[in-house]
Amino acid sequence: MAAMSRTVVVDEELDREASKILAGIGLSVDDAIRRLLLQVVHDQCLPFAMHVPNAETIAAMEELERGEGRPYSSLEELFRDMRDQDCRSSSQRGDS
């Protein structure tokens, strides 16, 4: 198989951080990119999920960019708030 060279443009900090992490598992960035491409060819798709955000998600992202929204310090706090909101909504609707 003939080899070729490809240039990938990435942020310097991203390259430094990724290089350090990959070196810790015995890989270079080039090795990781090669493995990614092999996996794409093997599976005929990306080896991770890629989703286009829907309108509700985009609105939530824009809300956060404006500095609005409620920050949570943990997933437990977020889930507790969601559960409490659901209970309030149910009681307002008269659900049992």
Tens of pLDDT, residue by residue over 48-74, are 888 889 999 999 989 989 999 888 899
Domain hosting residue 58, numbered range: 10-69
Q: In the structure encoding, which two tokens stand for residue 17, read together?
A: 């951080």
Distance CA 37, CA 8 (A): 13
Residue 87 located in a structural domain = no
Tens of pLDDT, residue by residue over 15-39, are 999 999 999 999 999 999 999 999 9
Q: Residue 32 has what pLDDT?
A: 96
Residue 74 located in a structural domain = no
User: Into how many domains does the chain fold?
Assistant: 1
Give residue 9's pLDDT band: very low, low, confident or very high (50, 70, 90). Answer: very high
Contact 60, 53 (CB under 8 A): no
Residue 63 located in a structural domain = yes
Residue 21 located in a structural domain = yes
Residue 38 located in a structural domain = yes
Return the closest-CA partner of residue 14 out of 25, 6, 22. 22
Give residue 83's pLDDT band: very low, low, confident or very high (50, 70, 90). Answer: very high
Residue 39 located in a structural domain = yes
